[in-house]
Amino acid sequence: MIRHIKTAQASIEGGTDGAITKTVGALLAKVETGGDKAVRELSVQFDKFDRESYRLTKEEITSAINTLTNQEREDLDFAQDQIRKFAQAQKDCLKDLEIETIPGVILGHRNVPIQNVGCYVPGGKYPLLASAHMTVLTARVAGCGRVITCAPPFKGKISDKIVAAQALAGADEIYCLGGVQAVAAMAYGTETIEPVDMLAGPGNAYVAEAKRLLFGKVGIDLFAGPTETLVIADDSVDGELVATDLLGQAEHGVNSPAVLITNSEKLARDTLSEIDRLLGILPTAAIASKAWEDLGEIILCDTVDEMVAEADRVASEHVQVMTRDPDYFLNNMTNYGALFLGARTNVAFGDKVIGTNHTLPTDKAARYTGGLWVGKFLKTCTYQRIETDEASALIGAYGSRLCLMEGFAGHAEQANIRVRRYGGRNVPYAAAAGPIDA
C-alpha cells in the first residue's frame, strides 16, 4: 500500500501561462521587426546593460579567461574533459548505414550535424557556467559548423566565469545578452547576428516560452521547466544523506519539486527531522524551505515494485537511487531524465562535472523523451540509390500499383516512366504496371 508521510501543499500547473505567452510573443515580435535596436532597448530595460555591440571581442574573452585562478581553470578543464569524453562516446555509438535490400537497391542514412546552433546559458540568479559545457561542448563534439552563445550579465556586468566556460568549450561567437531578446536574436537574426537553425539550453519561464513559440522556426533541444529531483532510498542510507540531496536541488527555486520514495518509515521520519535541521544552517534556505514546504513529498511504499511504479508515475527529471540494489531500478524503470545510482553519486555531480548532460526533461516529459545529448545536434538523413535497370523496373512496377491504390496518378507515372525506360515494358499512361512475370 502506498501512503504519504508528507504531501505537497501546492502544484506546478501544467501547460502555459497565458500572460507569459502574451508578453513573450510581443517581445519576440519586437526583436523580429526591430533587430539590433530592439535587442539593445530590451537589454537596457530588463538587464540595465547597454553597449554598442553585445558580441564580446577577442580581448574581452581573453580577459575573462585570465580572471580564472589556476585552480578554477583546472576545475573547468576537468569538467569539460568529462563531458567531452562522454559525448564523444555517445557519438561513436551512432553509425552511418548503407545496405543492399534487394539486388541493385541501396538504402542508407547519414548522421548530419546541424550547421548553426545557438546556446543559451542562464546567469541572472546564479552564473550557471555548467550549461556552457552541456550545450556548446556537446554541439562541438557533434560536429556542428557554427556554435554561438548568449548569457545575461550577472549583477550588471559581463560574467567572466560564464564567458570563460563558453570560450573554453569552443563557442564561435559569445554575446552578453539574456532573456527573450537573446533567444529571439539567435532565432530571427539581426543586422549583426546571423540566425541559427537550433536553440539549446535551459532558462527561466520567459526563455522557455520563447523557445516554445519559436519551435518550428528553429529546432529546440527540449522544453525545460523548473528543476525536479526524486530520491529513491531504503534503510541502507540515513536521513542526513537523503535530506542533503533533496535540499541540494530544492535550492534551485521555490518551484522545484523534491520527492522521496522509500519503503522505510524510519528513514522517512528521520529525513523530515534532518530537513528541519539543515534548513537552519543552509545559506540558500529561504529558497529551499519554500520549495520543500510547497512541493516536497515523502511517499512510503511497501515493496520495491511499488517504488518502481511510483517513480515511473512521477517521471522526474533527476532520479537518485540509494538502495541495496540500485541496478534493479536501472533495469525496471522507464520514465526518468537521468538516473544516479548508489549513494556515492548524486545529482550535483551530474549538474556540474561527471560527464552526463544536465539539460533534462521536466514536467513528466521523461515519459516520451530523454535529455540533451550529442544526437540532438545530429539529423539522421536517409538516401537511396538504384544501380541496375532490373531493380528500377521491379520497384517501379510495385510503386505504380501502390500509388494508384491511393489515387495518385502523377505518382504512378513517376514509377511507370521508369518501368518503360528501364524495363522495356509498354505501360499505358496513368495505368497500373502489371507484375514483372505477367
Determine the Cα–Cα distance for residues 289 and 1; give it in Å rounded to an integer: 29
- The answer to whether the annotation marks 109 as part of a ligand binding site is no
Q: Tell me: is residue 411 an annotated ligand-binding position.
A: yes
Note if 173 is an active site residue: no
Q: Per-residue DSSP letters for 120-138?
A: E---SSS--THHHIIIIIH
The sheet with strand 338-341 has its strands ordered as: 3-6, 296-300, 258-262, 229-233, 318-322, 338-341
- Other CB atoms within 10 A of residue 398 CB: 14
Q: Catalytic: 317? A: yes
Radius of gyration of the chain (CA): 27
102, amino acid identity: I
Rounded CA gap, 214 and 212, in Å? 5
User: Does the annotation list 249 as a binding residue?
Assistant: yes
Q: Which of 121, 122, 119 is nearest to 146 (CA)?
A: 119
Catalytic residue among 209, 297, 317, 358: 317
Residue 221 DSSP SS3:
coil
Q: Which of 52, 318, 390, 413 is catalytic?
A: 318
Query: Is 351 marked within a binding site?
Result: yes
Please name the residue that has the C-alpha cell 558580441.
Answer: 55
Q: Is 262 annotated as a binding residue?
A: no
Is residue 252 annotated as involved in ligand binding? yes
**Was 88 annotated as part of a binding site?**
no
d(CA 211, CA 223): 8
What are the cell numbers at 353? 562535472
Q: Is position 318 annotated in a ligand binding site?
A: yes
Q: Is 320 annotated as contributing to ligand binding?
A: no
* Binding annotation for Zn(2+): 249, 252, 351, 411
Active site residues: 317-318
* Binding annotation for NAD(+): 120, 181, 204
* Binding annotation for substrate: 227, 249, 252, 318, 351, 406, 411
* Binding annotation: 120, 181, 204, 227, 249, 252, 318, 351, 406, 411
